[in-house]
Amino acid sequence: MNESAQTVQSAEMFRPPINRAMRTLDRSFFQKELNLASARVLDKKKIASCQKDLSGDILKLERLQPIRLAPATVNADCGAMCLLLRPEVRVDDESTWSSRLHDLVKAQQVLIAPYRLQLNYDYWNYHDIMSAILPESEQDEIPVGFSVVGHVAHLNLRDHYLPYKTLIASVLMDKNPKIRTVINKIDEVGEENEFRTFRYEVLAGPDDMTVEVREQDCLFRFDYSKVYWNTRLSTEHSRLVSKFRPGEAVCDVMAGVGPFALPAAKKRVWIWANDLNPESHKSLLENSKRNKVTEFVRPSCEDGHTFIRTSTSRLLKPSRQLTIHPKLSRSARTTSTQLSPPEILQEPKTFSHYILNLPATATTFLPNFIGLYTGHEHLFHPNTEIKLPMIHVYCFSTKSDDNKAEEAKICREVSVQLGYGIGKVGEEEMQVWDVRDVAPQKRMFCASFRLPRDVAFREKDSRA
34 Cβ neighbours under 8 A, 6+ residues apart? 13, 14, 87, 116, 117, 119
Q: How many CB atoms lie within 10 A of CB 64?
A: 13
Q: How many CB atoms lie within 10 A of CB 336?
A: 5
Paired with 450 in beta bridges are 390
Percent above pLDDT 70 for the chain: 91
CB 356 within 8 A of CB 256: no
Give me the phi and psi of 174, to 5 degrees please: -60, -40
pLDDT greater than 80 at residue 52: yes
| Torsion-angle region of 82 (φ positive above 0: left; ψ -120 to 50: alpha; else: beta) | beta
For 225-236, how does the pLDDT look when each residue is reduced to its tens digit (9 = 90+)?
A: 999 999 999 999
Sign of the dihedral defined by the CA atoms of residues 129, 134, 138, 141, in that order: negative
pLDDT at residue 159 in the model: 87
Query: What average pLDDT does the structure give for the chain?
Result: 90
Q: For the chain, how big is the Rg over CA atoms in Å?
A: 31
Closest CA to 207 of 190, 184, 186: 184
pLDDT greater than 60 at residue 59: yes
Amino acid present at 57: D
CA distances from 425 to 261, 413, 428, 429 (A): 30, 17, 7, 5
For 75-133, how does the pLDDT look when each residue is reduced to its tens digit (9 = 90+)?
A: 556 678 999 999 999 999 999 999 999 999 999 999 999 999 999 999 999 999 999 99
pLDDT greater than 90 at residue 282: yes
For 333-375, how does the pLDDT look when each residue is reduced to its tens digit (9 = 90+)?
A: 556 566 678 788 899 999 999 999 999 999 999 999 999 999 9
pLDDT greater than 60 at residue 190: no
Q: What is the pTM of this model?
A: 0.84
Closest CA to 298 of 334, 261, 268: 261
Percent above pLDDT 90 for the chain: 76
Neighbour order of strands in the sheet with 181-185: 147-149, 152-155, 181-185, 200-204
> What is the C-alpha to C-alpha distance for residues 446 and 235, in angstroms, rounded to an integer?
13
